[in-house]
Structures are given as C-alpha cells and as structure tokens.
C-alpha cells in the first residue's frame, strides 16, 4: 500500500470513528431529551447538565422559573440545592480539621459547651458528619447509641455549622462564600431571606399542577444543612474540585471518599450502599460512582459524579411532587440513561 493510500485509509477510519461517536452521543442526548419533555407521570421542570472532563456536553432547561408570571427557566438559573449543601459543610469541617482547629473523633461537648444532655460527651463530629449520632432534639436523650445506626436529618449539620463558627471565628456563610469565590462558583451563595431575588420559586406539584411554596423553611440556623443556592454549572465545578483532590489534603481526601456507614435511597435501588460525609457510594451496573441528593421546599436535586469517565450529572428542579412515589422520578430515569451510556462503552 502506498503512503497516499495509507494516509487516506487512516483518515477515513478516524472520520468514521468520530462520526459514530457523534451519532451515539446524539442518540444518548435525545434519550435524555425525551424524559425532559415528557409529561407522564409528571412534567420535568428544571435544568439538566452532563459534563465530561470539565466540559459541558449537554445542558438544557425546561419549564418555568415562575408559573404565575410564565417566566421560563434558563440554564444558569439559581436553585435551592437542599441537602447538597451538606457536602459543602463537610468539606469546610475537614478543612478546619486540617488546620488543627477541631478533631473529628472528639466529643462535641468541647465545641458546643452549651449542650446539657449527656450524649454531648460521647457523640463526635464524625458521628454528626455521617448521621450516626442518634440526636433527635438537643433537649432530649438520643434515639440510639452514637455510631450504632444511621438516621438522616438536618440537625447534625446545623450543629456542624455552629461548630465551624465556634472553632474558626467565622460564620458558615462567610466560610462557604469564600470557598465559592475561590472555586469561581460565581452564581452560588447562601440563602438569605433579605436577598434572594435571583432564586427561582419552589413549587409543590400534583397531576401536573404547580402550587408555589410561599414561605421557605430556610433561615440562618439551617443554612449549613440546606441553605446553598447554586446552578448546574457551578455544581459541576464543585465536583471537579472535590473529586479531583483540589479541596483537601491527601489524608482528608481519602477520608471523605471512604464510606463509614450505609444507607438506602430509592434513586439508586433498594439495597443499602456506602455512605460517608454526605456522599453516597453507589455501585450500579458494575460501576462505582458518587452521588448526593436533595429534596424539600419545592425543590428536587441530584448531583452524581462518575470517576471512571470524569462525568458529572447535575439535575436541579424547582418542583417537589406531593406524591412521594414520584420523588426524584425523572432524576432516576436520567441517571439510568447516563449510567447505561457509560457502561456500554
């Protein structure tokens, strides 16, 4: 074969490979599109992003920012991310531990001296981080011995916000906003009832009818558990920083990426899977990946990171179905499409 023919053959082979990959991606994205555009069993109302190697591959908004005024959603609109907020708090706690300002295995009485219940001498920061503390009310006995069970909730991360202030001298809002600035997450901030004009409205939905949530449950006290407002692109930036070791030293990076208890979530199946410092460790279809979810105040969120292909899937909706059977319904369906695309390569 002559050099000219060889070069021509190689060029055709490369062109065919690129064309086939583009065709496959188009089919893949059309499948995501079909879920976003469907109205059964409920309409999707939010934004979906898929990025790979830090570059956006799919980005689409559907529905309304405000149903009453018929203001359509844009891809850079800002949503309450609910429990996704806890992951930011966990990183701030680990950064404080790196700086020697607190110890994860020390009972929280040292950092919250106003606590009067005896459990404050046994529950550690580690227990607060992975929801194995057993605290149901700061004025009542624990429901179970620290470390013996898992029970998800906001209270432990509210306490972590107080611990951050007592050990660093800065509020959670100050620490978080400083971190967002460092990561160039320019559209991410902590909810403030006096300044939330950029925030999309949250809705409760039933039979594709949307009822606005008029009074948010967010306040300064719950900010470290559920108070972050962000966009899909900023959360993808967060994934790149967190999972590529840009936020923590190797010691603490290993710690945050190691499950320390287990939990079940319907988005990922019926089995218990690993859970750590507000990161879920999922093994599905033979693939290991990380995820965090959020639900409440008229919002539904999913943020998943697939390390094998450096892929982020971020879904933010400003609706929360009244029927619990539909919670995170489309989030799970879109996640399954992304999962299938990765595992079929």
Return averaged pLDDT per consecutive 10 residues of the chain, 345 residues in all. Answer: 59 50 71 92 95 96 96 97 98 98 98 97 98 97 97 98 98 97 97 78 95 92 96 98 98 98 96 97 96 97 98 98 94 96 87
Does residue 17 sit within a domain?
no
Q: Which pLDDT does position 16 carry in this prediction?
A: 47
Does residue 57 sit within a domain?
yes
Name, in order, each residue with C-beta under 8 angstroms of 318's C-beta and a sequence gap of 6 or more. 45, 46, 63, 65, 73, 79, 200, 201, 202, 203, 298, 299
d(CA 8, CA 60): 38
**How many CB atoms lie under 10 A from the CB of residue 57?**
14
Does residue 16 sit within a domain?
no
d(CA 165, CA 161): 7
Q: Which pLDDT does position 14 carry in this prediction?
A: 54
Tell me the whole-structure pTM to 2 decimals.
Answer: 0.92
Q: Which pLDDT does position 232 carry in this prediction?
A: 98
**How many CB atoms lie under 10 A from the CB of residue 235?**
27
What's the start-to-end Cα distance of the chain, in Å? 32
- What single-letter DSSP state applies at residue 124? B
Instruction: Give me the number of domains the chain comprises.
Output: 1
Q: What is the CATH number of the domain that holds 145?
A: 3.40.710.10
Polymer length in residues for the chain: 345
Does residue 128 sit within a domain?
yes
CA 271 to chain centre: 20
Give the long-range contacts of residues 27-32, CB within 8 A, separation 24 or more: 28/337, 28/341, 29/57, 29/58, 31/337, 32/58, 32/60, 32/334, 32/337, 32/338
Q: Which helix (H) or strand (E) holds 168?
A: helix 155-168
d(CA 265, CA 304): 13
Does residue 33 sit within a domain?
no
Q: Which helix (H) or strand (E) holds 263?
A: strand 261-263
Does residue 256 sit within a domain?
yes
Helix, strand, or coil (residue 292)? strand
d(CA 247, CA 97): 13
Chain segment 192-241, per-residue pLDDT in tens = 877 666 689 999 999 999 999 998 999 989 999 999 999 999 999 999 99
Host domain of residue 149: 45-343
Does residue 192 sit within a domain?
yes
Farthest CA pair distance, the chain: 86
Does residue 6 sit within a domain?
no
Strands of the sheet containing 46-52, edge to edge, are 55-62, 46-52, 311-317, 299-306, 287-296, 280-284, 273-275, 261-263
Q: How far is CA 283 from CA 53, 201, 291, 335, in A?
A: 21, 34, 11, 13
């Amino acid at each position: 074969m002559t050099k000219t023919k060889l070069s021509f053959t190689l060029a055709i082979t490369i062109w065919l490979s690129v064309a086939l990959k583009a065709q496959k991606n188009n089919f893949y994205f059309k499948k995501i599109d079909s879920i976003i555009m469907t109205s059964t069993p409920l309409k999707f109302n939010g934004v979906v992003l898929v990025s790979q190697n830090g570059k956006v591959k799919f980005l689409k908004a559907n529905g309304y920012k405000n149903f009453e005024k018929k203001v359509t959603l844009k891809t850079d609109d800002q949503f309450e991310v609910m429990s996704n907020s806890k992951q930011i708090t966990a990183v701030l706690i680990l950064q404080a531990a790196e700086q020697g300002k607190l110890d994860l295995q020390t009972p929280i009485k040292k950092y919250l001296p106003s606590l009067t219940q005896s459990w404050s001498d046994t529950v550690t920061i580690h227990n607060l981080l992975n929801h194995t503390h057993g605290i149901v009310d700061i004025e009542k006995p624990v429901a179970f011995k620290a470390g013996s069970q898992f029970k998800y909730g906001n209270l432990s991360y509210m306490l972590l916000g107080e611990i951050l202030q007592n050990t660093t001298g800065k509020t959670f809002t100050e620490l978080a906003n400083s971190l967002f600035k460092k990561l160039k997450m320019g559209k991410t901030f902590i909810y403030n009832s006096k300044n939330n004009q950029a925030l999309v409205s949250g809705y409760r939905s039933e039979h594709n009818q949307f009822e606005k949530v008029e009074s948010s449950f967010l306040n300064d006290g719950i900010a470290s558990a559920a108070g972050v407002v962000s966009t899909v692109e900023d959360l993808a930036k967060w994934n790149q920083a967190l999972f590529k070791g840009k936020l923590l030293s190797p010691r603490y990076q290993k710690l945050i990426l190691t499950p320390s208890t287990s939990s079940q979530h319907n988005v990922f199946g019926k089995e218990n899977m690993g859970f750590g410092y507000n990161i879920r460790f999922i093994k599905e279809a033979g693939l290991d990946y990380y995820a965090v979810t959020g639900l409440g105040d008229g919002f539904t969120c999913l943020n998943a990171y697939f390390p094998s292909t450096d892929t982020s899937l971020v879904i933010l909706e400003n609706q929360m179905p009244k029927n619990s059977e539909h919670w995170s319904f489309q989030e799970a369906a879109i996640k399954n499409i992304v999962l299938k695309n990765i595992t079929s390569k």
